[in-house]
Amino acid sequence: MQASKTKNHYVLITSSNFPKGGAGATYLDLFCKGLIYYSKVVTVYLIRGHALRGNDYKISRKNITKEGVKYSYLGLLLRHENKFIKAFDSFLSFSRLAFYLFDAIFKRKKTTILVYQADFFHSLLIYFVAKTFGLKIISIVPEYFNKSDFAGKVRKIQWSGFEFVLSRLIPLSDGIVVFTHFLKEFYVKRRVNEKSIYVQPNLTDFDFWNVPENKEEFTIGYSGTPGSKDGIIFLFEAISILKSEVPVSLLVIGDTPYGKSMIPYLVSKCTTLGIQDLVTFTGLVDYDQVKTLLSKCRIAAITRPDNIQTKAGFPTKLGEYMALKKPVIATKFGEVEKYFIDGREIILAEQCNQYYIANKIKWALQNRELTKTIGDGGNRKAFELLEYKTSMQRIIEFIDSLMESTHNTK
């Protein structure tokens, strides 16, 4: 059963990449695909230029996806690190956003604004126009950052802006889509009506990740940005413990999408641990290649630590691993235990403890049939929870119910 068809026009405004270039771009691409699948109309306005280091992704100011989603860059086409160029870029995108919002005022009865991680000043503009002129606005909140990650005067100012948007502006939305119940409680405490908050832990395209089995080349696969928030060092240390006990190898797919590469530091860390011959780094690869590379791994791992960011978010890679029917070894972060049963749909280890992680890896490698069953169970549960078409049907019905309620009260 498809969601009800309406003439409503969705306008998505974001600072993220789109439709490619990281976890945020993947989510938004599926979100928009879901809208198109249910005969909705959506246009995307990108506040920042495209950012993906070492990528030859070709773009122009106005673009369209193969599904028919139109997207435009409000500022420069590429993201720059020079502070003067960045300032000009922000001014340019702010000015163009003001123009598009002014146009939306005259179409407000048929327009719903969607906001995903917009910058501070752009958010001020969006919410000022929406609240002043009666534009309907839905915020999508995927995560919450650690304040300790914002070191230095400039970064502290950025943190203040980020916190102001999350705590003061987003509660003014007509509805909020969040990834976790942690974020739902965050907004309930700020007096947001529970009925206007919808929890949907990420989206996954199971058709895309349905690939034939490949010859096994690695015992463990990891994909994503290999930073401290993902706890990859604990995974390295676990492999160091296991290297003399069982045959083990790790494939690390990905790198930081923007700025300086993380790989030289990670290679140095592996050398210090004596596992440099057991770990293979691919660097940044095209999204289509990730599934092929992961399909060559026996198990997949995600070893995130315990902090506010892992409590608030729900990782894209978890759904992708499970869509491949890979048995997943994960630490007990966020709301993983809320959705997946240890030993039946996932293999859980204690956080920030390389010895527990090593023991779980060793168990998985020694119990191939059991882990295959766990991989199949995780796949079924993840499909119910994350498959983007059915998930977007629920989100659209949630938004439609809010819009109908708003209309009836006026």
Q: Give CATH 3.40.50.2000 domain extents, the chain.
A: 9-203+387-408, 218-386
Instruction: For residue 59, name the pLDDT band (cuts at 50, 70, 90).
Output: confident
- Per-residue DSSP letters for 230-243? GTHHHHHHHHHHHT
Q: Which residues contact 386 (CB under 8 A, 6 or more apart)?
A: 201, 202, 203, 204, 319, 322
Residues forming a β-bridge with 292: none
Q: What percent of the chain has pLDDT over 90?
A: 80
- Per-residue DSSP letters for 297-339? EEEEEE---SSHHHHH---HHHHHHHHTT--EEEES-TTHHHH
CATH placement of domain 218-386: 3.40.50.2000
Residue 142, pLDDT above cutoff 80: yes
Cite the DSSP H helix spans in 80-208: 83-105, 120-133, 153-164, 181-188
Q: 162 vs 148, which has greater pLDDT?
A: 162
Judge contact between 213 and 359, C-beta under 8 A. Answer: no
Q: Which CATH number among 3.40.50.10800, 1.20.58.60, 3.30.413.10, 3.40.50.2000 corresponds to the domain 9-203+387-408?
A: 3.40.50.2000
Phi-psi region of 345 (alpha: psi -120 to 50; beta: other; left: phi over 0): alpha
pTM: 0.93
Structure-token pair, residue 162 = 């980020």
**Residue 406, pLDDT score:** 59
* CA–CA separation, 170 and 321 (whole Å): 31
Phi, psi for residue 197 in degrees, rounded to 5: -120, 130
**Residue 256, pLDDT score:** 86
**Residue 354, pLDDT score:** 96
pLDDT in tens, 207-225: 999 988 788 999 999 999 8
Residue 41, pLDDT above cutoff 80: yes
Q: Which of 48-62, 109-123, 269-283 has the lowest mean pLDDT?
A: 48-62
**Residue 29, pLDDT score:** 98
**Residue 5, pLDDT score:** 47
Considering just the CA atoms, what is the radius of gyration of the chain in Å?
A: 22
